Amino acid sequence: MPKPAPVPYTDRTDAVPRHVAIIMDGNGRWAKKRHLPRIAGHKQGVEAVRRISRAARDMGVEVLTLYAFSSENWRRPEAEVRDLMGLLRRFLKNEVEELIAEEVRLRVIGDYRALSDDLVAMIEDVTERTRDATGATLVIALNYGSQAEILRATRSLAERVASGALSAQAIDEQVFEAELATHDLPPLDLLIRTSGEQRLSNFLLWQAAYAELVFVDTLWPDFDAATLGDALATYAGRHRRFGGL
């Protein structure tokens, strides 16, 4: 299979974002348009994960963070949640050897320990086996909610202040970020949401403060290397001012 075309050249030295995050939306609508059960859309969504994680590496993205299961997704029907967890098991089982071969580090953010014991064991096995990989990083957000992440960081800092281990005056952006699940990752450069929706849905709220946002109409199962390349080209064409001129 040929590699995707490279992102178009610009004169910016940071034309390719180091860290890209994607809100993968539209699996259900993809299935509905084809008169298929929702699980069919989720299965195609897993194929898109495989396709895009490879394409991102080929395009030079160092970190790809995917919003796989939010803390709010537990509100979905029990059968759908069960199907999603089954797909996660299959993904971890089928992809581990490729991740190792490609030197890809798997990271999981969110309260994944609230999942079933067998899934927790699988996640910790794959993350441990890929921990020392020297290539790209694939981050999966599972049972993740950004507001809960921020609250946990706040409580942790409050406990340190109460114990005398930290001065309240010493808390700045860097100290706060060190408490977040993404503390060991590069800053978020680009956040993409598929399916035409234009909201963050409790995803990486702190981290996205100065990220470039790209919203595309493509449903996640149809998202491909060309669509990713277009999003990266949009990013490359923007002037990132970070509050300056």
- Residues involved in catalysis: 25, 73
Residues in the annotated binding site for substrate: 26-30, 38, 42, 70-72, 74, 76, 193, 199-201
Q: Which helix (H) or strand (E) holds 68?
A: strand 63-70
Cα end-to-end distance, the chain, whole Å:
43
**Which is nearest to 179 in space by CA: 203, 220, 148, 210?**
148
Using alpha carbons, select from 143, 217, 205 the residue that is nearest to residue 176.
205
Q: With beta carbons less than 8 A apart as the criterion, state whether 156 and 179 touch.
A: yes
Binding residues for Mg(2+): 25, 212
What's 86-147 look like in SS3? HHHHHHHHHHHHHHHHCCCEEEEECCHHHCCHHHHHHHHHHHHHCCCCCCCEEEEEEEECHH
